[in-house]
Structure formats: C-alpha cells, structure tokens
Chains A and B, each alone.
Chain A
C-alpha cells in the first residue's frame, strides 16, 4: 500500500522540508468545510503538560494553527509586563566598574516581585512623580575593607577582604506606602548569587534604584522569560515491510536513545518520537530508502517556557492568552462602519 502523508504533516526529506503551510482554509479542498467553528476547535484542541515547576515548563498545545501558537510565543517574550530596575541613583561608586556599566548590570537582574500590583510609571510625562503604586525602591551599599583576621598566606580575595564581592543578595528593598501589603515578603533578586561587582579595600558602592513596569519590547530585562520557544512534534513512520534483524538495530542507532525500540518479533518500532531530535541520520543510509518517512505534526506544538523567576511559567502562558484577547477586544471597540 502506498504511503499517504496526513494533511497536518510537514514532510522531512534528506535535503528539504515539504508542506510547511497550513491548508485548512475554506475553498482549499473542494467540497470540504473548513470554516471557523468554535465547536470544532473545542473538540480538537488539547493541552498536555509534560512538566511544570516554579521556573521551567514544557507543555503541548494540540490542534492550533502556527499563527496562533506563534502569537503566544511572541507575547510571552515581548509583551508581558514585569518589574526591573530602570533608574539608578549613584551616591558613590569608587569601584572599577563605571557608573553606566554598573547601572546596566543592575538593570538586568531579574526580580522576584509580582508585577500585578503595580501600575505604569509614565516615563514620557516629565511631570510624573513616582509613587508607591508604580515604583519600587531598592538600595545597595557595600564598602570593601581589609580583613584583619585573614589566615596567613592566603591569596583568596574573599578571605583577605570584607565585601570583596558584591552579590544580588546584598540588594535591600525599602517598602514604600502600601507596598508592605502587596509584598509582605519583600522584593529580592530571583537569583541571590548574581555577582554585581568586585571591590578592593577602600572602594565603595552606595546607590539607590527605582524599579518600574516595562515590557520586553522596550528592553529585554523586562521579559518574564529566559526562553519561550516551541517545536513541532516529530513523527517517524515505518512504511511497508517491518525492519527486522541486523537492520533493526542499525535503524535504532540512527535515532537518539528511547526513540526506537525492538519488539519481541525483532522488528523496529517507534517508541517515543517526541524524543527525536530530527537529525535525519536515518535518511543518509541507502538501506532505509523508502522504508521510513520523517515528518512533524503541524498542529502539535511543544512549548518550552523558562521563567526568570518573577512569574511562574503557567501564569506567563495564561497572561499571553489574555493579552491576545485584550488586543482583539480593544480593536473591537472601534466603530469602523460609521
């Protein structure tokens, strides 16, 4: 029986990919109904969560179009507001790091602070005064001194000096007004071990910082994700006669561990195509020509979302869905017929 590729498959040949565009539009297939139906979508759409914790996640959206999946990915990266250090007021900086470089480094530190409580700081308005509703205040002060109790003969700067290294954990949050209700546990860096500067005796850093809301489109420091990406589920179809014996073990070794297994009859069977890296190694061997078809399922998206620590990954995704919805609702309010 000849192999017919399902419609929702991207074909993967040794030198190219085929059928990359969606075809589920009205008029594409004669006599078929491909008009939008929320009921049909509801019946086909599935969510699978592979794993999820405070920082990382992998989940599948099955039954959506790439245009929609990509919108969520783009929103997660560049349009979800988070808090980051934006203004640095340097009282004293005698370290070797220049003021502007230090300020930039501070800005990039991910903060563990829920952005939902804050309002927008109006950067464009010169009259706008920061309030407890829109600005978090942080302080950092460190002075390096000689450690008189350093063990004899040591060359380790951490032993020789006090405060030789300034870390993100040294940042102190100063609650303003209502902020004690919103941030009862305070605001800290998501990772306390980020090295900000190195000092030597006599050098000093003393500065205060203002954190405001922003989006990744403006500056990457405001992005809530370290990465947000998706890939399509790989497919491997063994066509025609089963692959057996010596050939089966060669077939198995063409894929990463756990993708192909050999069953009791000695036939190679696809165990877990999800683990495949789609290296296309199998397509390099003439003995497998015409016996295997590689592909990807065009409507099965495997998302990988890594949070910076401010918002959990599942909340980031939900926010992206809500934001796309909001974009539509805003446009819907305009009366264009008039």
Chain B
C-alpha cells in the first residue's frame, strides 16, 4: 500500500500533466491569428450587390489567380479579375460582376467552396497514387 506522501506526489503529477495538456491546447488554438480586416468590400459596389470589389490582405497571386479561375467557371459570373495594386503592399484586390441572378458575395463564397472541393479531390487522388506504391524510387536514367 502506498504511503501518504507517495499519494500526494502522484496527484501532483496528475495535476502537472493536466496543466501541460491545457498549455498545448492553448498553444494550438492561438496559431491562426486572423486579422478581422482580412477581407473587405471596397467602396463602389453596385447597390444590388451583383458587382463588387474585395480587398484581401496577406494574399497574392497564389490565391488570387486560383480564385479568379474557379469564379470564372461559374456561369452566373459575367466578369472576375484580380490585381495586386502595389508590390510592397501585401494585399490583393478581387473584382466580381455577375449577370444579376446572384450577388458578388455569393459568387465568391461558391468559388471558395469549389476550390476547397477541388483541393479535396487532388489530395485524395494524390494520396491514393502514393499508397499504390507502384512508382520508381530513383530517377530513370536514359540510355
């Protein structure tokens, strides 16, 4: 039977372990620090919301061009384009005009969802190709 002193030590150890759990959780949660101004609608949007420009901070051609492509694939969208107004400003402007059936915000949201779907397909297909293990492990040498 353990002495009282040992018991105390065990409970203390549990407490310390608990504390550490909390610490790691807190650290994991604070990683995505997102600016509340990450995306804004620029002044000059049409009153019915079918045409609008967005300013997205901390984004560049990586998301800009991918998003432009997927939004242009929407048949309700008349125009979509992006620009980086100045290279020393970490901001990207996105312009969406629709034919009137949906708003620019809806077109953007659909674009984001479609891009997530696209990434999911690429991810699963790539993982499948890797798991098949039927590839070479060294660079083929030409003879």
Contacts and interface: CB of A to CB of B under 8 A. Distances in A.
Interface of A: 22, 24-27, 33-36, 38, 41-42, 45-53, 56, 58-59, 61, 64-65, 67-68, 70-71, 74-75, 79, 119-120, 133, 257-258, 275, 314, 317-318, 321-322, 324-325, 327-334, 336-337
B9 interface: no
B38 A331 contact: yes
Given A38-B121, A71-B65, A336-B54, 5 more contacts: A25-B72, A35-B73, A47-B129, A133-B24, A257-B143
Nearest to B136: A51
A328 B126 contact: no
B73 A314 contact: no
Contacts of A334: 38-39
Contacts of B114: 36, 38
A294 to B, nearest CB: 20
Contacts of A321: 119, 122-123, 126
Interface string B106-123: 001100111111111111
Nearest to B129: A47
Contact of A336 (B66, B105, B137, B138): B105
A50 B135 contact: yes
B109 A332 contact: yes
Given A50-B140, A328-B112, A328-B116, A75 B122 contact: no
A327 B63 contact: yes
Given A314-B130, A325-B119, A331-B112, A71 B70 contact: no
A49 B130 contact: yes
Nearest to A42: B121
Interface in B29-43: 31-32, 34, 38-39, 41
Interface in B51-94: 54, 56, 59-63, 65-70, 72-75
B55 to A, nearest CB: 12
A321 B136 CA distance: 23
A38 B118 contact: yes
A324 B70 CA distance: 13
Interface residues of B, number: 56
A317 B129 CA distance: 13
A119 B75 CA distance: 42
For chain A, what secondary structure do more than half of its interface residues adopt (helix, strand, loop), or is it mixed?
A: mixed
B142 to A, nearest CB: 6
B56 to A, nearest CB: 7
Contacts of B140: 50-51
17 contacts: A22-B69, A26-B73, A36-B114, A38-B114, A38-B118, A67-B68, A275-B142, A314-B130, A318-B127, A321-B123, A324-B63, A325-B120, A328-B112, A328-B116, A332-B113, A334-B39, A336-B109
Given A26-B75, A42-B121, A331-B56, A58 B108 contact: no
A68 B126 contact: no
B27 interface: yes
A74 B127 contact: no
Given A36-B73, A321-B123, A67 B65 contact: yes
Contacts of B128: 47
B125 interface: yes
A47 B140 CA distance: 18
Contacts of B6: none
Given A50-B135, A327-B59, A336-B39, A68 B130 contact: no
